[in-house]
Amino acid sequence: MKQKLMFLYLKTGGGHLSPAKSVAQWVEKNYGNTNEVDLVDGFNGVQPLVKLIVEDGYRKSQEKARWVFEGLYAIHKIKLIAHLSGILVSKFVRPLLEKKILCDKPDKIVIFHFFLIKPVNEIIKKHQLKTPVLIVVTDPFTAHPIWFLDKQQNFIVFSELLKNRLIAVNNISPEKIHTFPFILNEKFSSRLADEMKESIRIKYDIPPKSKVIMIMGGADGIPRGGKILKKLLNSDIKAHILIVCGRNSNLFEKALELKRVYNANNLSVFGFIDYVYELLNISDLVITKCGASTFMEVLMCGKIPIINSYLWEQEKGNVDFICENQLGLYEKNVNRIPFVIKSIMQSSTELDFYRSNIDRMGLMNGTSQVSEFILQFS
C-alpha cells in the first residue's frame, strides 16, 4: 500500500504553492510507486469572504497598499494578535479540513502555510491521531511570527540564520529544526546550455546578440510594473525587454498598451506562464520583487537581480542576503532604475563581478533533500 502524503497550502502569492508542488512532483517522479501526494488548498470550500480577505487582500495590499500588509505584519509580532488571527482563521478552515483528513487518513501531513498549523493541530488533538506533521517555513530568512506560535512542531527551514534566530529568540529546541537549501522546481538545479538558449531566443523572436532585461514579480506580477516598463521604454537602453505579468491582468493590458504606444519591437509581453525558467536563462538582468521563490529562481539561473520592492519585514532578509553578498542591487526609486541598469550593462567588469559572486555562493536546489527527509520522517 502506498504512503499517503497530504501537502497543505494557501494561494497567498506563489511562495507557498510553488515549493509544495516542487516536492510533490519530485516524490511522484522518484517514488510514485510507493508514495502518493495530495496537494490540498486549505481554503477549498471556505466562505468566499474568508478567501477575499486573506488571498485577495494579500494581492491587493501588495499592488496598491503595501503599508496595509506591512502594518498587519508588525502588529502580528504581538503574540495576542497572532493567536487571535490563528483562532479566527482556524474557525472557518477546520470543519472542512477535518472532514478531509478523517476521510483520506493521510500517513503524513506537511504544512506550507502558517494559517493552517493551528487547525491541523486542533484536528490531530481532538481525534487523538498519530499522524506526523511537518511545517515547511517558506520564508528563508525573516519569517512571519505565526509560523512559530507552537514551539513543539517540527520545522523545515532554509537558512542557518533563521535556525539560529529560532533557537535564540523563539526558544525552539534545535532538534525540532531541520535545515536544507531552498526548494525550487527540479529544473532550476541546472542552467540551460548555450544551444538551448539560442533556440529559446528564436522561439520568442529575441535578437541573438541583444542584451535582455526581464521584469517579473511572482504569480501576481510585480508592483509598479507599468511604471518600471515605461521608464525603460523612455530610456536609451539598448536591450530587449521581457515583462512577465503573472495573473495581474491590469499589468498585462498596460504592458500591451505601452508596446503599442511606443511601437516597441524590443518588448515581449507575457501573462501567467510556465516557462519562466527558459526566459530567465536568456536574460542578463532581472528587475523583480523579493519574494522567496522569485529571487532564488533568479539567482539559481545565475542572473543579476535588481530589487525594486519587498514586503517589510517578511522579505527584508531576502534583500539583505542579496545586498550583503553583493549578488545584485536594491533600488526602490523607479526613476533611477534605467541609470542602474545602464551602469551595470555598460561595464563588463561590473557584470562579471555580480555573476562571479552569484556563482561563488554555490547555491543548491534543496527539493531532493527535503523530499527524502519528508519520506523518511516519522
Predicted confidence (pLDDT) per residue in 298-347, tens digit? 999 999 999 998 888 889 999 999 999 999 999 999 999 999 999 998 88
Q: Has residue 67 got a pLDDT over 90? A: no
Give the pLDDT of residue 160: 96
Q: How far apart are CA 183 and CA 188, in angstroms?
A: 10
Residue at 165: amino acid letter: R
At 40 the pLDDT is 97
Domain 3-182+365-376 has what CATH class? Answer: alpha beta
pLDDT for residue 314: 85
| pLDDT tens-digit map of 87-111 | 988 999 999 999 999 999 999 999 9
Look at residue 59 and tell me whether its pLDDT is greater than 90: no
Tell whether pTM > 0.85: yes
- Grouping H, G, I as helix, E, B as strand and the rest as coil, residue 277 is helix
Closest CA to 264 of 274, 276, 254: 254
For 50-59, 70-79, 109-118, 260-269, which range has the lowest pLDDT when averaged over its residues?
A: 50-59
Report the phi/psi class of residue 226: left, alpha or beta, with left for phi > 0 and alpha for psi in -120 to 50.
alpha
Query: Is residue 141 scored above 90 in pLDDT?
Result: yes
| In the chain, ranges of CATH 3.40.50.2000 domains | 3-182+365-376, 186-360
| CATH number belonging to the domain at 186-360, selected among 3.40.50.300, 3.40.50.10580, 1.10.10.2840, 3.40.50.2000 | 3.40.50.2000
- 191-237 pLDDT tens trace: 999 999 999 999 999 999 899 999 998 777 888 899 999 999 999 99
The answer to whether residue 60 scores a pLDDT higher than 70 is no
**Portion of the chain with pLDDT greater than 90, in percent:** 76
